[in-house]
Chains A and B, each alone.
Chain A
Amino acid sequence: MLQVRGGRIGRMSTVIRAQELDALVVGVTLLGSGGGGDTGAFGRMLRRRLGDGELVLRDASDAPGAYVSPIGVVGATSVLAEKLPSGGEFDTAVRAVSRWTGRPVTGLMSLEAGGLNGLSPLIAALDLGLPFVDADLMGRAMPRLDQFSWAVAGRSLTPCALSEPSGQVIVVDHVDAAGLERAVRSFVAHTGGWAVLALAPTPVKAATSDAVTGSLTRALALGRAHAGLDVGVRPQTVAQTLGGRLLGGGRVEEVARHTVPPGGAAFGRGSVCVVDSASRAVLRIETENEYLLAMVDGEPVVSTPDLVCVLDRRTLQPIFVDAIRTGDEVLVLALPGPTWWRRPDRIAHVGPRAFGLTCDPMLLEAS
């Protein structure tokens, strides 16, 4: 159990207690933009681990000299519901990468902030008793390892270690992001479907210089704002409260899911069609693992790396891409994505074209 040591927490750090976990879960789900894996199971695990304690989201400056390892879950996160974690995967992966690099891991950060990987490093931090630095390599959820900010910034993702629930562990080194992607995919495909990935322990300054910082703090803020919304509030108010833009709200008219063509992209493409109940405007959202591109009346309005979020109109709970169904009554919102990506050299890796959508990135006005 991580104890908060007085005086060492800077002003930039955020403290999370049990009563705020719900907000955090909603926040990371919103950052997932419809993907990133189901946050429910990890939310419950985190609640159990945390108990009455506290969890500190540290600013990089609050962990000087620490060697942090980005950690998270990779593979088919939907399998997590069937193939449950043994509890030792984080430890195994961290030990393996620590042993390979010859450096102890003295802090953790997240691989991606959106979806369940916004929560899994917190569990790891609690389990391993390590401080958690609020930084991650995506600032949202995205499907590929070459979309890690480290890879985009030209840093190697290796050495790194993978461990899976039955205890098997492998260390991968001297390979680029695409090669690592292949290694990870073949590993999880032949084991339990998912694995914990821990990257090499890195001095915190270097680790966070090419990373998105403060994502979980933002998630918590989003979650808190979301929790403050009353049921039945106007859609426009929902968007304003969450700091985004309302694209529309109405019935889901069609959910098309295309099977993956053989030899094609690894993720199933699909689209969601919503008709705005007020204006009858036709909303179309192109999906892969996340909501990628939103169009209103045929015109692209918002795309990755900004966040397209679909909420249940009644409960305002976020709806995942794989859970949305024809007939759902939804609100479609766009939230600004991480500013880290808003640079021409970076955005090419995460814009619509990175997902095979021949469309320039459509971003919200910088807030």
Chain B
Amino acid sequence: MNWLFYLSSAVAVAATLMMVTRLKAVHALLYLIVSLLAVALIFYVIGAPFVAALEVIIYAGAIMVLFLFVVKLMNLGRRAVEVEHSWLKPGAWVGPVVLAAILVAEVVYMLVGAAAKGRMATVIGPQQVGMAMYGPYLIGVELASMLLLGGLVGAYHLGREQHIKAESHTDDVHTHDAWPDSGGDLVRAGSDRAAGAP
């Protein structure tokens, strides 16, 4: 069906434009999630159901939750409740809800109709993708695993250093009790880690 493709493309473009022009981060995140769901629907329509599932699970499920946790982490404080109250005004969520309702209507239409009704091209299923990925692209899988390991180690390193520095800034007494070797306030973060286990 052609019009399903064009409708979800229009939703994706509109949601992305709204995402770029928002001023608050949470509103932009809502529009970005709608845009990713619209792209997943495009993938399903053009005959790539495996990639559509990956888009929903990993992009809209994992990466956007990561963004959301970072936004929440930056708003820890006394004013957090007021700020979140101002985020929940109806003007904030009406636009994403309308765009998502269009996508839900498309999905319901495809579910109600016949099984192969909403497809434009030939379907390339997960089996063919897996055969191609673990056949000629095996070295790419290995490289992707090394890249993910590098990302894990880098993110752990950056987060660990920041955590110790923030802790030694906030409460000095607790720090001196925990690590008696660290003498004075000007001690570098991480220099007292030699005695500690991890």
Do A and B originate from a single complex?
A: no
